[in-house]
C-alpha cells in the first residue's frame, strides 16, 4: 500500500559547513524532509542570530532546497542579549552540549548552574532549550540516565522553559519525559528505533552503527518503540543524521554519527511497518514536533511508494545508514 | 626498579595459520612468553591430536621458538575416541565455542547437553575443558553472566571435570569462579584489566579495543583487578591475543580480537604497577596457570627493565594493543 503524507520535519540534523555539506543538504530533501532544525555545532560553531543567518545563506548556496530552522550553540560565553536577539530573529532553539560528550563538544558546558542566567533569558523569551542529555565522564551506558537528574533540576528551576531532550536512547528517558509536563519533549532518531548495542559491538564492531548516545539494550529500544506507539505528542522525529566520511568512520578512532538523512522516510516507514506503527508515522514526522515548536504544519506532501529498494553502499563520500539493507518503500515528492 | 621473573605462560593465544602467523609467533616470544596454549579455531580448525601435531609443526616452521601447548576444538562431531587420543598425546585442553559468539565460531555448539558424552570422556581422561563463556544470542553486555548458569550445570553434572572459563570480563564471573571449587579457573586478558566499554564506544569507536567478550563496566574491570590482587590461584594470565590486520579491524564490520602479544609482559607490568599489583605478577603469569594445567614451571627468565618505551603504531600488518601508549618497561630475555 502506498502512503501519502505530509513531508517530514526533521527536528535534529547536522549539515556541517565544509565539503560534506552539499551531500548532506541534498540528502535532507531526498529523505522526504521539508523543514530541518539544523544543529549549530559546526566548526566554528553558530553562536548567535547573525552567524545563524550567514549559515542559512551558506547552506542555501550549497543547494539546500528546504526550510532551514536555525539553532545557536550555548557556551559559557553566551550572553542573555544574544538569547533575546536570537529569539527575536526567529532562532528556534539554543543547543546545549555537555563538554566532551560528542562531536565538536570540546567547548561544551561542564557546570549547568553556570547557565542559569541564560536559561532565565530563554524562559523569558520562550526560546527552546535543546539538550544533548548525557553526563560527561559517566559510563557510556549510564550517561543518559544520569542526566535525567540534571534535567529534573532544570525543569524544577525553570518550570516554563521548553526543553527538548534530544535523541533519547533509554527506557528511563522515556519514563522521565512521560513524568514531566508538556514543556519537556524528546526527539527519537531512526537508528535508535532500529539498533541496540549488539549492532555496534556484537560479534563484529560496526562503526556505521555508532553514534552518541550509543544504542542501548533491547529493552531500551522497545521502550522507544512503545513511546512512538503511545501517540504522545512529547515524542517526535529528529534524525541526528550526521555526515562523516567513510574513512573517518572506519578508523582507529572512528567518529560518532550516523548518516540516515538520504533514506529517512523510507527507513522509518519500513521500521514502522515492521512494528505495526504506520498509523503513527504522520504525527511522529510532521505534527508533534511542529506543535512543540509552534510552527504551522508544513503543506508539502510526499508519497511512499510500496516498492522495494536497497540502500546503496555510498552516498557521496558517506556510507548511509542501513547500506545494503532492503527497504519497503521509495519516496516521491508530490 | 628492574624486575626479573620467570618467562610467562600465555594460557590463551590465537596464532592462526596463514600469512599473519609469522608475525603472531614472533610476537609471542617478544612479549616474554615461553609457553603458549594455542587456540584451535584456525581455518580449518584443529579437531584432533593429529591435526594439532601438524599445526605445531607448521607453527615451528613459521618461526615459533617457544613451547606450544596444544588444544583441540570441540564440535558436534567430536568423538570420545578423539578425546582419549588427544589426552594420551599430550593435548592440554578441548576448547568449546558457543555458536557464533566470536571469530570462527560458526561451527560452535548450540546445545551444551549434546556434548555430555564428550564431557564424560574429558572428565575420565582429565582433559581440561576450555570454554568461551557467552550465551549465543544474549545481549552483548549480559552474554557472559548468562553463561554462568550453563557453567553451574556443567560443574554440577561433571564435578571432577577441570574447566577454564576463558577471558572473563565481569564481576559476576569473578564471583562465580570464587564460588566453584578448584576445578574451575579463569583466564584474564591484559586488555580486560585495562579497558571498559567506554574505551570501545565512548566518544569515538575504537576497533583496536574491540574483542569478544567485549570490555564491560568500570565495576567489572575493578572486579578483575581485585581478582588478581586476591592472589587466588583460580585466576591466571591468558592474553587472548589475536592478530587481525589493520584493514580488517578498521572496517564496516570489524573483526573481534586484540593483538596484545608483542608487548604482553611490559603492558601487564605497567598495568600492575599502576594498581600496586607488581607482587602478584609472577604468580599470575607463570605459576597459577602451570599448576592448574599440571605443568612444571618453566625455567626461562626475563628481565623487565624499568625504561620507558612507546608501543609502535604497527607490528607487521597489525595494530598492536596500546599503540602509541607509553609503557614503563622494556623486556629482555635472560
Is the C-alpha dihedral spanning A178, A182, A187, A188 positive or negative?
positive
Question: How confident is the model over A87-99, as pLDDT tens digits?
Answer: 999 999 999 998 8
Residue A4's Cβ-side half-sphere holds a number of Cα atoms within 13 Å equal to 5
**CB of A304 within 8 Å of any CB in chain B?**
no
* Helical (H) or strand (E) element with A185: strand A184-188
Share of chain A above pLDDT 90, in %: 93
Cell 599430550 sits at which residue? B90
A73: pLDDT strictly greater than 90: yes
**CB of A171 within 8 Å of any CB in chain B?**
no
On whether the CB atoms of residues B267 and B258 are closer than 8 A, the answer is: no
Q: What is the pLDDT at residue B330?
A: 98
* Shortest distance, CA B318 to any CA of chain A (angstroms): 12
Average pLDDT over residues A254-280: 98
A120 pLDDT band (50/70/90 cuts)?
Answer: very high
On whether the CB atoms of residues A264 and A190 are closer than 8 A, the answer is: yes
Cell 548518516 sits at which residue? A259
Q: Which three cell numbers stand for residue A222?
A: 522497545
pTM of the model: 0.96
Q: What is the pLDDT at residue B110?
A: 77
Mean pLDDT, chain A, integer: 96
A103: pLDDT strictly greater than 80: no
Higher pLDDT, B203 or A50: A50
| DSSP for residue A254 | B
Q: What is the pLDDT at residue B20?
A: 98
Is the C-alpha dihedral spanning A241, B252, B267, B278 positive or negative?
positive
* Helical (H) or strand (E) element with A310: strand A309-310
Question: How confident is the model over A177-214, as pLDDT tens digits?
Answer: 999 988 999 999 999 999 999 999 998 999 999 999 99
Strand boundaries in chain B, DSSP class E: 3-6, 8-13, 33-38, 67-74, 93-96, 128-131, 163-165, 184-188, 235-237, 301-305, 309-310, 326-327, 330-333
> How many beta-carbon contacts under 8 Å exist across A and B?
93
pLDDT under 70: residue ranges of chain B = 101-103
Closest-CA residue of A relative to B203 is: A102
Question: How confident is the model over A299-328, as pLDDT tens digits?
Answer: 999 999 999 999 999 999 999 999 999 999
Q: What is the pLDDT at residue A267?
A: 98
CB contact under 8 A, B140 and A253: no
Q: What is the pLDDT at residue B108?
A: 75
**CB of B247 within 8 Å of any CB in chain A?**
no
**CB of A197 within 8 Å of any CB in chain B?**
yes
C-alpha span between A230 and A79 (Å, rounded): 39
Question: How confident is the model over A137-179, as pLDDT tens digits?
Answer: 999 999 999 999 999 999 999 999 999 999 999 999 999 999 9
C-alpha span between B91 and B160 (Å, rounded): 18
Lowest mean pLDDT among A106-110, A287-291, B113-117, B194-198: A106-110
Q: What is the pLDDT at residue B268?
A: 98
Q: How many helices (H) and strands (E) does chain B have?
A: 13, 13
Q: What is the pLDDT at residue A288?
A: 98
C-alpha span between A108 and A93 (Å, rounded): 16
Q: Which three cell numbers stand for residue B227?
A: 581478582
C-alpha span between B142 and B189 (Å, rounded): 19
Average pLDDT over residues A35-50: 97
Q: Which three cell numbers stand for residue A110?
A: 561542564
Q: What is the pLDDT at residue B319?
A: 98
Q: What secondary structure does DSSP assign to B216-232, as a single string? A: --HHHHHHHHHHHHHT-
Q: What is the pLDDT at residue A100?
A: 72
List the single best residue of A136, A201, A218 to mutate versus B (max B Cβ within 10 A). Answer: A201
Rg of chain B (C-alpha set): 18
B94: closest CA among B120, B60, B113?
B120
Please calculate the CA angle A226-A27-A231 and round it to the nearest 5 degrees. 20
On whether the CB atoms of residues B138 and B212 are closer than 8 A, the answer is: no
Q: In terms of DSSP bridges, do strands B330-333 and B235-237 run parallel, antiparallel, or are they unpaired? A: unpaired
Tell which A residues from 203 to 222 touch B, by Cβ distance under 8 Å: 203-208, 210, 212, 214, 217-218
Q: Which three cell numbers stand for residue B126?
A: 582429565
List the single best residue of B252, B313, B318, B320 to mutate versus A (max A Cβ within 10 A). Answer: B252
Chain B residues in contact with A204 (beta carbon < 8 A): 253-256
Amino acid at each position: 500500500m502506498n502512503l501519502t503524507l505530509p513531508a517530514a520535519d526533521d527536528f535534529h540534523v547536522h549539515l556541517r559547513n565544509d565539503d560534506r555539506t552539499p551531500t548532506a543538504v541534498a540528502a535532507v530533501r531526498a529523505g522526504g524532509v521539508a523543514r530541518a532544525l539544523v544543529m549549530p555545532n559546526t566548526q566554528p560553531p553558530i553562536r548567535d542570530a547573525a552567524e545563524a543567518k550567514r549559515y542559512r545563506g551558506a547552506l542555501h548556496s550549497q543547494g539546500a532546497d528546504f526550510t532551514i530552522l536555525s539553532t545557536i550553540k550555548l557556551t559559557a560565553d553566551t550572553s542573555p542579549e544574544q538569547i533575546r536577539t536570537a529569539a527575536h530573529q526567529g532562532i528556534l532553539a539554543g543547543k546545549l552540549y555537555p563538554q566532551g560528550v560528542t562531536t565538536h563538544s570540546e567547548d561544551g558546558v561542564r557546570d549547568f548552574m553556570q547557565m542559569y542566567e541564560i536559561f532565565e533569558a530563554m524562559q523569558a523569551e520562550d526560546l527552546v532549550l535543546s539538550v544533548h542529555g548525557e553526563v560527561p565522564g559517566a559510563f557510556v551506558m549510564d550517561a543518559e540516565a544520569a542526566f535525567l537528574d540534571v534535567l529534573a533540576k532544570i525543569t524544577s528551576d525553570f518550570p516554563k522553559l521548553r526543553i527538548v531532550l534530544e535523541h533519547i536512547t533509554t527506557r528511563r528517558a522515556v519514563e522521565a519525559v512521560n513524568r514531566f509536563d508538556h514543556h519537556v519533549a524528546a526527539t527519537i532518531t531512526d537508528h535508535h528505533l532500529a539498533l541496540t548495542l549488539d549492532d555496534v559491538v556484537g560479534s563484529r564492531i560496526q562503526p556505521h552503527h555508532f553514534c552518541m548516545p550509543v544504542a542501548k539494550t533491547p529493552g531500551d529500544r522497545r521502550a522507544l518503540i512503545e513511546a512512538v506507539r503511545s501517540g504522545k505528542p512529547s515524542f517526535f522525529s529528529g534524525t541526528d543524521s550526521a555526515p562523516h566520511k567513510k574513512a573517518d568512520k572506519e578508523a582507529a578512532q572512528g567518529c560518532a554519527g550516523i548518516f540516515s538523512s538520504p533514506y529517512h522516510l523510507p527507513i522509518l516507514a519500513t521500521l514502522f511497518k515492521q512494528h505495526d506503527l504506520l498509523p503513527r508515522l504522520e504525527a511522529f514526522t510532521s505534527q508533534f514536533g511542529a506543535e512543540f515548536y509552534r510552527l504551522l504544519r508544513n503543506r508539502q506532501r510526499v508519497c511512499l511508494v510500496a516498492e522495494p529498494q536497497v540502500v546503496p553502499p555510498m552516498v557521496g563520500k558517506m556510507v548511509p545508514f542501513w547500506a545494503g539493507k532492503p527497504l519497503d518503500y521509495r519516496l516521491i515528492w508530490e
